[in-house]
């Protein structure tokens, strides 16, 4: 639903223009005929939007979703683990920590935010790299569009729809660290109905640290996805989505080499109907469940089951001579977690219910000026009534040059653990929470510019932001308690963040493109380090830049490489260990040869400049890896 | 007065009465927006119709019943506020109007036969034409063009691009060799990025890149075989007149005025001959 909301707003903003450009006619018609397809979604968006396509994901050989994100402007990605099998920490505009509660992640419009601890279990997401159509990255607060917990940004992962014609693909690869992977997918159907089925298997053994010891970071995953489409008439489409993920992983940085087993499953249905003109309705239902079984942790075995039910509906329409596009609707969410260990000594079943209503407008004020505004109000068990706002002016003085000024405000609901947790992390340390913890509030002022030159082949973008965070979480030792040390959390902290994000992409010709981006971020924090050692002023690299390029070399050969630089930073894990990471470079590369149509041999490498790196304080190792394999694609 | 003269006089009187009846009809024009392409088509319609008709913008169409609606653009064609037994759509390649009554669609491109003939005249050596399309509603046009192409001595390689966003990745994997590229006027497929991709692909392969609207020649297509927006509007007026006068009009009509435009610089790059015998109406330096 939220994806559709964004689409409506962006399309409405796009409709604010009228010119004699040769493509303008097709642009206008495309908005009506293929409303979900936006050729240039970032250009006239009311927020900073970045898009990574399936073509780029394949060309650069990204192995994981967080590898896709680590080289984008404004993104902060660390290879690290939680105590239960997660493998990456992903944040936008700083504030990287073990569970990033302030960033919303959607898969085909369905939230995969974790209700127990906040954040996202990236490695367990039931999404396969081969299934991804594109990833949209929206930076900055977007709660008015996407609901709470979207304060730092939104990652929208959009997967491939079933095709109207038969098509299949399969592949296998192997590499260092005894890693292997296979995938298979097939799609078939016609104009009125189609089905896509996919499967992926990955396995990787332990890495070795500098002392030659096993890092206990092995991971094995299986993922299965099914997606069906039914179009009973030209105006109606019904989709069914389902899938699952099974993970077994070692937990590094913890004595006795424990393992975690995570299983995830989800089911969703979505119906859209065009009502004539440019109005339409959309409704969706979804259910998801995740079970974590982490064994032999220092504090004892731990299990948790998390679940979420969502129901959403919206209506969008245009009025006032097409000058205004309005979207309104509501959603209901019930999420919960069952865990004897996480909620020790209290009710082992904790839940949250969120009711939300929203309305958004895109108003063409004058020919070059569009106003986009939205407001939402939500009521929840964990946060009470919480409003969210977003307002943006888009000014397009000349064709394809858009200036943006925006203000937005977003709440972040505390996770169930922050509200009700009581967990013996190790024999010497117990984490407890506070029922009085308030929702965190993020407000952001932003200026931006998006441009298009050379028929859209050259895409520069610039964003400057100033962001304030109130009621930021803060850990402190509870005085006067006997061993174990009791560490509690409240939200007595506040912070200010400022940043500049600049990027440029240039597509020279089919298959040949380069990109570069630079990010500067600075955070000041009211309180400094807390009892857990978290210090937001130091936890975000101040300077980052990335450059990459991909080229079709002829005769089916391709090559792509990305070089990233990250300034020094400091991290602390929830297990109490800390790490000062010095400035570093990272190089990834991929070479492919399509020796006959649809058949490709490839070799790829990650982190090629380093024997290994440790990016997060938990000691998880990201070693240099090389892999090679074969993929085959059949059908048109 | 001879018998023949009487017959001619009667026919003329009936035609005048019919024309009067057509102009007296209650016709409503609906424009998708105030963009210039819809305006140009409406201007052409008004010229050929001989008078102005009430105009409404999609989204603010009055709820009234009229004798005929002429819709300029898909959004206009899909508006449902006004009702009519007859709808004429133009510049609406993907519109799926859900309304009672007859629908006449005015095509954005020449008839398949005319298109194939003009292509063959422009490119006498044409043997295999690759036709790029995406949306299901383009399929009949592609099949018609393939049939017409056979009559004119060349074949069509139908190349459906199911995911237009992935065109840059797929363009290198186009199967088979083609002598020219034809981009259908499919809004799902035509955008600046895809256009630039195809232009560069054609340039590298040294084959002509043919496009469906005149403006695309200025963007670097080797040539366009097109009907102007204004002529689309004129064709809509002619079809509506004929229908209201009781004539038989097919569900799909094409303008007879076709303009072939060549981008001389792009043509030179691939060594294409643009002598007058090739039926070129306009050349861009």
Cα–Cα distance measured from residue B20 to residue A629, given in angstroms and rounded to the nearest whole number:
74
What is the per-residue pLDDT across A442-492, written as a single tens digit (0 to 9) for each? 999 999 999 988 766 789 999 999 999 998 888 888 887 677 888 888 888
Tokens 């929830």 appear where? A574
Give the model's pLDDT for residue A499: 97
Q: Which residues pair with B160 in a beta bridge?
A: B133
Cα–Cα distance measured from residue A340 to residue A67, given in angstroms and rounded to the nearest whole number:
34
Give the model's pLDDT for residue A634: 86
Residue A298's pLDDT band (cuts 50, 70, 90): low
Q: By the CB < 8 Å criterion, does B100 face chain A? A: no
For the segment A176-198, the average pLDDT, to the nearest whole number, is 92
Strands A219-233 and A48-53 turn out to be: unpaired
Cα–Cα distance measured from residue A313 to residue A527, given in angstroms and rounded to the nearest whole number:
42
Asked if the Cβ–Cβ distance from B173 to A594 is below 8 Å, we say yes
User: How many Å lie between the alpha carbon of B23 and the closest alpha carbon of chain A?
Assistant: 28
User: Which two tokens mark A501?
Assistant: 């994000």
User: How many Å lie between the alpha carbon of B183 and the closest alpha carbon of chain A?
Assistant: 12
Give the model's pLDDT for residue A37: 29
Give the model's pLDDT for residue B15: 44
Give the model's pLDDT for residue B18: 46
| Cβ atoms within 10 Å, residue B7 | 10
What is the per-residue pLDDT across A216-232, written as a single tens digit (0 to 9) for each? 889 999 999 999 999 88
Cα–Cα distance measured from residue A600 to residue A616, given in angstroms and rounded to the nearest whole number:
35
A375, pLDDT greater than 90: yes
User: How many Å lie between the alpha carbon of B78 and the closest alpha carbon of chain A?
Assistant: 5
What is the per-residue pLDDT across A393-424, written as a single tens digit (0 to 9) for each? 999 898 789 999 999 999 999 999 988 888 88
Burial-class residue A633 by CB neighbours within 10 Å (0-12, 13-18, 19+): middle
Q: What b/e sequence results for A323-361 when a residue is b if at least 16 CB atoms lie within 10 Å of its CB, and e otherwise?
A: bbbbbbbbbebbbbbbbebbbbeeeeebbbebebebbbb
A512, pLDDT greater than 80: yes
A20, pLDDT greater than 50: no
Q: Which of A234, A277, A636 lies closest to B75 in CB terms?
A: A277
How wide is the angle at C-alpha A133 spanned by C-alphas A128 and A138, nearest 5°?
100
**Chain center to CA of A297:** 28
Give the model's pLDDT for residue A302: 81
Residues 177-196 of B with CB under 8 A from A: 185, 187-188, 190-193, 195-196
B37: nearest CA partner in chain A = A25
Question: Which is more confidently placed, A228 or A87?
Answer: A228
Helix B229-244 and helix B3-24: axis angle, to 10°?
110
Question: Which is more confidently placed, A266 or B10?
Answer: A266
Mean per-residue pLDDT pooled into runs of 10, chain B (285 residues): 52 47 78 87 93 84 84 85 86 70 88 94 93 84 91 90 75 80 90 86 91 92 94 94 87 91 92 84 89
Distances (CA, A) of B28 to A99, B23, B42: 59, 12, 11
Neighbouring residues of B275: CB distance < 8 A, sequence distance ≥ 6: none
| Contact indicator for A299, A84 with CB cutoff of 8 Å | no
Helix A24-33 and helix A2-14: axis angle, to 10°?
150
Question: Which is more confidently placed, A227 or A317?
Answer: A227
Tokens 């089925």 appear where? A197
Q: Average the pLDDT over each of A106-110, A616-620, B7-11, B102-106 and give the range with the smallest value.
A: B7-11
What are the φ/ψ torsions at residue B28 (nearest 5 degrees)?
-120, 130
| Contact indicator for A489, A530 with CB cutoff of 8 Å | no
Give the model's pLDDT for residue B99: 61
Question: Which is more confidently placed, B25 or A589?
Answer: A589
Among A510, A557, A595, most B C-beta atoms within 10 A, so best to mutate, is A510
Asked if the Cβ–Cβ distance from B160 to A507 is below 8 Å, we say no
Residues 331-390 of A with CB under 8 A from B: none
Give the model's pLDDT for residue A255: 75
Virtual CA dihedral for A603, A606, A610, A612, nearest 10 degrees?
-120
Residues of chain B positioned with their CB less than 8 A from the CB of A598: 173
Asked if the Cβ–Cβ distance from B37 to A24 is below 8 Å, we say yes
Cα–Cα distance measured from residue A279 to residue A238, given in angstroms and rounded to the nearest whole number:
17
Asked if the Cβ–Cβ distance from A278 to B73 is below 8 Å, we say no
Cα–Cα distance measured from residue A621 to residue A615, given in angstroms and rounded to the nearest whole number:
8
| Contact indicator for A543, A585 with CB cutoff of 8 Å | no
Q: Average the pLDDT over each of A132-136, A546-550, A610-614, B163-167 and give the range with the smallest value.
A: B163-167
Residues of chain A positioned with their CB less than 8 A from the CB of B92: 29
Neighbouring residues of A97: CB distance < 8 A, sequence distance ≥ 6: A89, A91, A534, A539
For chain A, give the percent of residues with pLDDT over 70: 91
A319: nearest CA partner in chain B = B59
Asked if the Cβ–Cβ distance from A23 to B219 is below 8 Å, we say yes
- Stated pTM of the model: 0.74
Cα–Cα distance measured from residue A88 to residue A125, given in angstroms and rounded to the nearest whole number:
12
Q: By the CB < 8 Å criterion, does A40 face chain B? A: yes
DSSP string for A445-457: EEEEEEE-BTTTT
Q: By the CB < 8 Å criterion, does B58 face chain A? A: yes
Question: Which is more confidently placed, B216 or A346?
Answer: B216
Residues 199-218 of A with CB under 8 A from B: none
**Cα end-to-end span (Å), chain A:** 30
Q: By the CB < 8 Å criterion, does A595 face chain B? A: no
Asked if the Cβ–Cβ distance from A510 to B164 is below 8 Å, we say no
Average pLDDT, chain A: 87
Residues of chain A positioned with their CB less than 8 A from the CB of B36: 18-20, 24
Q: By the CB < 8 Å criterion, does B73 face chain A? A: yes
Among B62, B71, B163, most A C-beta atoms within 10 A, so best to mutate, is B163
Give the model's pLDDT for residue B5: 56
Among B61, B75, B94, most A C-beta atoms within 10 A, so best to mutate, is B75
Q: By the CB < 8 Å criterion, does A39 face chain B? A: yes
B200: nearest CA partner in chain A = A509
Residues of chain B positioned with their CB less than 8 A from the CB of A550: none
Asked if the Cβ–Cβ distance from A54 to B166 is below 8 Å, we say yes
CA atoms within 13 A on the CB side of B101: 20
Residues 107-166 of B with CB under 8 A from A: 135-136, 160, 162-166
Give the model's pLDDT for residue A318: 79
Give the model's pLDDT for residue A296: 65
């Amino acid at each position: 639903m939220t994806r559709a909301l964004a689409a409506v707003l962006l399309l409405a903003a796009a409709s604010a223009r009228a010119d004699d450009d040769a493509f303008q006619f097709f642009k206008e018609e495309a908005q009506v005929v293929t409303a979900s397809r936006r050729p240039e979604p970032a250009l006239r968006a009311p927020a900073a939007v970045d898009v990574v396509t399936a073509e780029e994901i394949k060309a650069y050989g990204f192995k994981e979703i967080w590898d896709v994100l680590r080289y984008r402007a404004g993104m902060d990605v660390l290879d690290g683990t939680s105590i239960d099998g997660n493998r990456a920490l992903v944040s936008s505009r700083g504030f990287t920590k073990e569970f990033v509660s302030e960033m919303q992640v959607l898969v085909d419009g369905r939230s995969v935010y974790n209700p127990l601890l906040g954040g996202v279990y990236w490695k367990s997401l039931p999404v396969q790299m081969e299934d991804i159509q594109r990833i949209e990255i929206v930076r900055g607060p977007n709660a008015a569009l996407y609901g709470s917990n979207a304060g730092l940004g939104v990652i929208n992962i959009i997967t491939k729809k079933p095709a109207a014609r038969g098509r299949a693909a399969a592949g296998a690869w192997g590499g260092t660290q005894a890693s292997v992977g296979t995938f298979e997918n097939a799609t078939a159907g016609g104009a009125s109905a189609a089905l896509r089925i996919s499967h992926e298997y990955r396995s990787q053994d332990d890495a070795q640290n500098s002392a030659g010891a096993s890092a206990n970071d092995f991971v094995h995953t299986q993922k299965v996805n099914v997606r069906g489409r039914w179009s009973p008439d030209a105006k109606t489409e019904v989709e069914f989505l389902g899938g699952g993920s099974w993970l077994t992983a070692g937990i590094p940085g913890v004595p006795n080499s424990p393992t975690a087993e995570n299983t995830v499953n989800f089911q969703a249905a979505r119906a859209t109907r065009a009502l004539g003109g440019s109005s339409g309705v959309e409704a969706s239902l979804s259910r998801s469940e995740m079970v974590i079984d982490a064994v032999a942790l220092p504090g004892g075995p731990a299990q948790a089951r998390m679940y979420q039910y969502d129901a959403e509906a919206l209506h969008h329409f245009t009025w006032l001579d097409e000058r205004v596009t309005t979207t309104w609707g509501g959603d209901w969410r019930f999420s919960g977690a069952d865990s004897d260990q996480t909620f020790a000594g209290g009710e082992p079943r904790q839940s949250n219910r969120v009711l939300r209503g929203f309305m958004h407008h895109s108003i063409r004020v004058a020919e070059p000026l569009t106003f986009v505004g939205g407001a939402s109000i939500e009521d929840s068990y964990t946060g009470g009534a919480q409003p969210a706002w977003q307002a943006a002016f888009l000014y397009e003085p000349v064709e394809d040059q858009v200036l943006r000024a925006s203000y937005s405000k977003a709440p972040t609901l505390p996770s169930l653990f922050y509200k009700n947790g009581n967990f013996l992390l190790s024999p010497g340390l117990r984490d407890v929470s506070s029922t009085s913890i308030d929702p965190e509030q993020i407000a952001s002022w932003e200026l931006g510019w998006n441009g298009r030159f050379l028929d859209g082949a050259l895409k520069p973008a610039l964003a400057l932001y100033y962001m304030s965070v109130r009621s930021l979480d803060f850990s402190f030792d509870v005085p006067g308690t006997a061993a174990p040390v009791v560490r509690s959390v409240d939200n007595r902290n506040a912070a200010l963040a400022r940043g500049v994000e600049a990027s440029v992409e240039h597509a020279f010709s089919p298959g040949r493109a380069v990109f570069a981006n630079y990010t500067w971020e600075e955070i000041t924090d009211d309180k400094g380090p807390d009892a857990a050692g978290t210090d937001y002023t130091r936890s975000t690299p101040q300077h980052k830049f990335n450059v990459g390029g991909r080229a079709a070399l002829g005769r089916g050969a391709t090559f792509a490489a990305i070089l990233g630089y990250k300034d020094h930073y400091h991290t602390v894990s929830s297990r109490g260990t800390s790490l000062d990471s010095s400035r570093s470079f990272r190089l990834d590369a991929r070479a492919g040869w399509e020796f006959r149509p649809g058949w490709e041999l490839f070799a790829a490498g990650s982190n090629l400049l380093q024997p290994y790196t440790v990016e997060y304080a938990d000691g998880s190792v990201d070693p240099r890896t090389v892999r090679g394999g074969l993929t085959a694609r059949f059908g048109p | 007065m001879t018998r023949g003269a009487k017959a001619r006089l009667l026919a003329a009187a009936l035609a005048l009465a019919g024309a009067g009846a057509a102009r007296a009809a209650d016709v409503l024009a609906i424009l998708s927006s105030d963009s210039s392409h819809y305006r140009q088509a409406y201007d052409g319609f008004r010229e050929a119709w001989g008078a102005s008709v009430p105009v409404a913008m999609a989204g603010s169409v009055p709820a009234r019943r009229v004798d005929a609606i002429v819709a300029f653009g898909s959004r206009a064609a899909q508006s449902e506020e006004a009702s009519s037994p007859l709808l004429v759509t133009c510049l609406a390649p993907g519109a799926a109007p859900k309304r009672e009554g007859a629908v006449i669609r005015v095509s954005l491109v020449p008839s398949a036969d005319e298109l194939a003939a003009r292509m063959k005249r422009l490119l006498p050596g044409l043997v295999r034409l690759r036709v790029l399309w995406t949306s299901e509603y383009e399929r009949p046009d592609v099949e018609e063009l393939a049939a017409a192409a056979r009559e004119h001595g060349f074949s069509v390689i139908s190349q459906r691009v199911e995911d237009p966003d992935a065109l840059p990745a797929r363009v290198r994997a186009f199967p088979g060799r083609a002598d020219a590229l034809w981009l259908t006027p499919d809004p799902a497929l035509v955008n600046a990025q895809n256009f630039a991709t195809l232009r560069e692909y054609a340039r590298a392969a040294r084959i002509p890149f043919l496009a469906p609207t005149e403006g695309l020649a200025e963007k670097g297509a080797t040539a366009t075989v097109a009907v102007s927006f204004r002529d689309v509007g004129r064709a809509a007026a002619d079809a509506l007149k004929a229908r209201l006068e009781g004539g038989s009009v097919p569900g799909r009509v094409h303008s007879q005025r076709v303009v072939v435009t060549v981008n001389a610089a792009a043509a030179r790059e691939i060594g294409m001959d643009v002598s007058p015998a090739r039926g070129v109406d306009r050349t861009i330096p």
